[in-house]
Amino acid sequence: MAAPPEGFRYLPGLLGPDAQAALVAALRCIAGEAPLYRPAMPKSGRPFSVRMTNAGSHGWYSDKETGYGYIGRHPGTGQPWPAIPPALLALWREVSGYPADPECCLVNVYAPEARMGLHRDEDEDTFAAPVVSLSLGDSAVFRIGGPTRRGPTTSLKLHSGDVVVLAGTARLAYHGIDRILGGSSRLLPPHEWGGGGRINVTLRRVTRPPEETS
């Protein structure tokens, strides 16, 4: 246990029930155009327990051959990713404090059994922009540490409607999702998204905007 790193900003309940429901509807459209896929670990090919899709010019993807990174088109359909929903661009402009818009809207879909191991987000060309994260559906136990894999970590529960902004030191901190508290929210309909569970949306800048120096 330790204090969260500098640059970690937690905005509990920033989105109310109506805004959450509207976003789930927007994500339903995205997943309709760009079907959820299950990434795999580089080299081992071990599948993630989390399913993903993206909106924006850059989508995060990983498989055995390609490794971690961003691609401009859906790996299955070959189509460009759908546009980032206006409400998410508005959220980024409100909380990021960053002058350029995000290029990636990564949608992580967690069944109640899914996890995300401790990792850093380091596949982007710039770390000057924050990452903005939004939680929807079941609550999750989120863990964040420091710049190395070992060392103290802090855990907190992320609930539906919570927003986290990762800037400064926190931008390159190790973090993960230890578990989903299945059945803790009724936002996600039982017959969609694999049955209950949780959706996390992260908004990221991937390329360095022309006006950014160093």
Among ligand MD3, Fe ion, none, partner that 206 touches (CB below 5 to 8 angstroms by kind): none
Reference 167, options 64, 96, 90; nearest CA is: 96
Size of the site for ligand MD3 (CB under 6 A): 17
Of the pair 56, 210, the CB lying nearest ligand MD3 is at 56
Q: Does 175 bind ligand MD3 (CB under 6 A)?
A: yes
Please choose which of ligand MD3, Fe ion, none residue 106 contacts, taking the beta carbon within 5 to 8 angstroms, the exact cut-off set by kind: ligand MD3
Q: At closest approach, how far in Å is the CB of 141 from Fe ion? A: 15
**CA pair distance 171, 49, nearest whole angstrom:** 24
Dig out the tokens for 153 from the structure: 């970590």
How would you list the strands of the sheet with 116-119, edge to edge? 116-119, 175-181, 139-144, 154-158
The residue range among 21-29, 71-79, 171-179, 183-191 that interacts with ligand MD3, by the rule CB under 6 A, is 171-179
Minimum CB distance to ligand MD3, residue 205 (Å):
12
What DSSP letter does each residue of 175-192 carry, written as one string? EEEEEEETTS--SS-TTS
Exactly one of 116, 129, 167, 188 binds ligand MD3 (CB under 6 A); which one? Answer: 116
Cα separations in angstroms, 168 against 8, 103, 131: 8, 19, 10
> Segment contacting ligand MD3 (CB under 6 A): 80-88, 90-98, 165-173, 183-191?
165-173
**Rg value, the chain, Cα:** 16
3-class DSSP state of 169: helix
CA distances in angstroms from 83 to 92, 100, 150, 163, listed in the order given: 14, 16, 38, 21
CB of 116 to ligand MD3, least distance (A): 5
Which residue's CB atom is positioned nearest to ligand MD3?
A: 200
Binder of Fe ion out of 103, 121, 124, 162 (CB under 5 A): 121
- Using the contact rule CB under 5 A, the part of the chain among 18-26, 30-38, 86-94, 118-126 near Fe ion is 118-126
Instruction: Give me the residues that bind ligand MD3 (CB under 6 A), please.
Output: 106, 108, 116, 121, 131, 133, 142, 144, 164, 166, 170-171, 173, 175, 177, 200, 202
